[in-house]
Amino acid sequence: MDDELNPLAMARQQLDQVAERIHLEPDVHEKLKHCKRTLIVAVPTSMDDGSLRVFTGYRVHHNLARGPAKGGIRYHPGVSLDEVSALAMWMTWKCALMDIPFGGAKGGVICSPKEMSLRELERMTRRLTSEMMIILGPDKDIPAPDINTNAQTMAWILDTYSMNVGHSVPSVVTGKPVSVGGSRGREDATGRGCVCTMREALAHLGLPIAGARVAVQGFGNVGRATARLAQQAGARVVAVSDEWGGVYHPHGLDIDAVIRHDRQVGRVGGFAGSDAVTNAELLELECEVLIPAALGHQLTQANAGRVRARMVVEGANGPTTPAADQILNDRGIFLLPDILANAGGVTVSYFEWVQGLMEYFWTEEEVNERLERLLRQAFADVLRTSLQEKVPMRVAAYMLAVSRVAEATRIRGKYP
C-alpha cells in the first residue's frame, strides 16, 4: 500500500513531524512510535444457515502511561492491523489533548455486518468478547462503539463480560444504552463536539454560523448527529452522503426529513427535491464547512487542490493524508484535526465511565455543559499554540497531546 494511504505510516509520519518541533528525546520518540500490545483473535461464529465462519479480530493498546486503554470497536470488511494500530495511536493523542486519563486503544473485526443477521452479529460479538477477556476490564481496557457497532453491541459485550466474572460490570464499556448504565448525551456526543468546535472556529475566522453552508460526508452516527445539530445551530446543511452516494440542495436540506427518508429506504439517495452527488463530488462542493465524517483517507494529494470549503472539520478519524494537509494549509483552508473535532465521543465516554464507577448519573444538560466546556478549553489551547508557534491547528494539537503523553511516559520511566 502507498504510504500516503497506509494509516499506520501516516500516524507515524505525523508523530515524527511533531517530535522534531518539540525536541522529543529519541528514546521517548521511539517508544511512542510503537503500540504496547496487540491481540489477534479468531472468532468462530455459528451462522444462521448452520455453517461456521471464523472471523479475525484485533485489539491494540498504544500507550497506557496516562490511564487504562480506551477506544472503539469497528466491524468492517476493510479492517486491518495497520488501521487499528493507527487508530489506537490517534486515540492516545485525542485523550491527552482533552486531558482525560485514558490511553489509546482500538479494535476491529474483519466482517461485512450489513450481510449478517442480528443474531449472527450477537453471536460474533459475544465470542469476540470472550476471546478478548484477558485484556478487558474497567481498569484495563474499556471499549466503545465505532463504525457499524452501536449501543446494542456494547450491551452484548457488557453482558458477556459480566457473565464471565459473575457480577454486573457496567463500566467495562461505554456507549451502551442508558437502561444498563449508559450516559445521557453519549449518542450525539461526537457530532456535538464537531459542531461545538466548528462554531468556535467560525467565530475565530469572523464567520457567522447562521447560514453557513455545511457539507457532511458520512451519514452514520457521527455524520447524522453533526448534520442535525449543525442545522439546529443555524447552519445550512447543503449536502450529506452515505456509502452509496449523497444528496445536495444549494438552499439547504431538511435534515430531519433526510433522516426519516434514510430510515425508510436505507440510504439518503433519492431524497425528494434534492440533486444526487457522489462522495467525491461532495468533497469538492463550494461551502464554508466541509465535514468528512465517514472513513479515513478521503482527502488526498489527488483531490485536496479541488476542495472549495473555507474550513475542514474532521469528523472521521484520519480523513486527511499528510500530503493533503500540506495542500490545504498552503491554500489557506482552516482545518480542525480529528483529535480535537471528533473528541466529543471519547469525552462523554469518559463521563460515562466515571458515572458507572460512582453509580451516580448526570442529566443530559449536565453532560452537554461539561462536554462543551472541555471542548472550548481544548480549542482555545490548540488555537493559542497554533498562533504562538505559527503552525497549523493539527501540528498545534499534536504538540500539546504528544508533550503530555511524553511527560507521563518520562515520569513513569522504563520498567524494569
| Enzyme catalytic residues | 106
In one-letter notation, the amino acid at residue 50 is: G
- Quick one: which of 170, 231, 195, 172 has its CA closest to 240? 231
Start-to-end Cα distance in the chain: 37
- Quick one: which of 86, 78, 151 has its CA closest to 114? 78
Q: What is the dihedral sign for C-alpha 343, 292, 230, 153?
A: negative
Q: What distance in Å separates the CA atoms of residue 359 and residue 34, rounded to the nearest whole number?
A: 36
- Quick one: which of 339, 394, 373, 377 has its CA closest to 102? 339
Q: What distance in Å separates the CA atoms of residue 343 and residue 267, rounded to the nearest whole number?
A: 26
Place of cell 494511504: 5
Going from the C-alpha of 38 to that of each of 215, 307, 395, the distances in angstroms are 37, 37, 27
